[in-house]
Amino acid sequence: MGCSSSTNAYYFLRKSEKVQTLPDAAHPAFKAAVLIQRWYRRYVARLEMRRRCTWRIFQSIEYSCEQDQIKLHNFFSYLMDHFTPSSSKERDFISRMLTEEESYKDTELEKLCDYESVEVPDSYTGPHLSFPLLPDHATALLEAFKQKQQLHAHYVLKLLHETRRHLMQLPNINHVSTCYSEEITVCGDLHGRLDDLFLIFYKNGLPSPEKSYVFNGDFVDRGKQSIEILIILFAFLLVYPKEVHLNRGNHEDHMVNLRYGFTKEVMQKYKVHGKKILKMLQNVFCWLPLATIIDQKVLILHGGVSDVTDLVLLAKIPRHKFVSVLRGKKRKEKSRHMDSKAINGESPVGVDPPRSSSFLGSCLQSELASAASSASRAELSQWVRQMVQEELEKCRKQVGFDETPGDKELTCVSSVTMTKSELESCETSESSQEEWKQIVDILWSDPMPQEGCKMNTVRGGGCYFGPDVTEKILQKHSLQFLIRSHECKQEGYEFCHNRKVLTIFSASNYYEIGSNRGAYVKLGPDLIPHFVQYQANKTAHTLTMRQRISRVEESAFRALREKLFAHTSDLICAFKSYDQDGTGTITLSDWATAVESVLHFGLPWRMLRPQLVRGTAGGLLEYRSWLDDLTVEQRSKEHIQSSLLEAIYRNRSNLETIFRIIDSDHSGLISFEEFHQTWKLFSSPMNMELTADGISDLARSLDFNKDGNIDFNEFLEAFRLIEHTHGDDKAPHPAEMAVS
Tell me the catalytic residues: 251
Q: For residue 494, report the phi and psi dihedrals to the nearest 5 degrees.
A: -165, 135
Let me know: does 676 contact 699? Beta carbons within 8 Å: yes
Q: State the Cα–Cα distance between residues 243 and 235, nearest whole angstrom.
A: 12
Output the CA angle 221-225-231, nearest 5 degrees.
100
Q: State the Cα–Cα distance between residues 577 and 596, nearest whole angstrom.
A: 14
Let me know: does 714 contact 703? Beta carbons within 8 Å: yes
DSSP 375: S
Max intra-chain CA distance, the chain: 106
DSSP collapsed to 3 states, 446-499: EECCCCCEEECCCCCCCEEECHHHHHHHHHHCCCCEEEECCCCCCCCEEEECCC
C-alpha distance from residue 349 to each of 142, 335, 343, 368, 411 (Å): 56, 10, 14, 21, 15
Q: What's the half-sphere exposure (Cβ side, CA atoms, 13 Å) at 95?
A: 19
Output the CA angle 83-84-86, nearest 5 degrees.
135
Q: What's the half-sphere exposure (Cβ side, CA atoms, 13 Å) at 150?
A: 14
Q: State the Cα–Cα distance between residues 265 and 389, nearest whole angstrom.
A: 42
Q: State the Cα–Cα distance between residues 684 and 690, nearest whole angstrom.
A: 10
Q: State the Cα–Cα distance between residues 365 and 360, nearest whole angstrom.
A: 6
Let me know: does 500 contact 470? Beta carbons within 8 Å: yes
Residues 6+ apart with CB under 8 A from 512: 58, 551, 552, 555, 556
Q: State the Cα–Cα distance between residues 334 and 319, nearest whole angstrom.
A: 19
Return the CA Rg of the chain: 29
Beta bridge partner(s), residue 174? 292
Burial class (CB in 10 A: 0-12, 13-18, 19+), 234: buried
Beta strand 463-465 pairing with 291-294: unpaired
Q: For residue 188, report the phi and psi dihedrals to the nearest 5 degrees.
A: -95, -155
Q: State the Cα–Cα distance between residues 232 and 35, nearest whole angstrom.
A: 54
Residue 532: strand, helix, or coil: strand
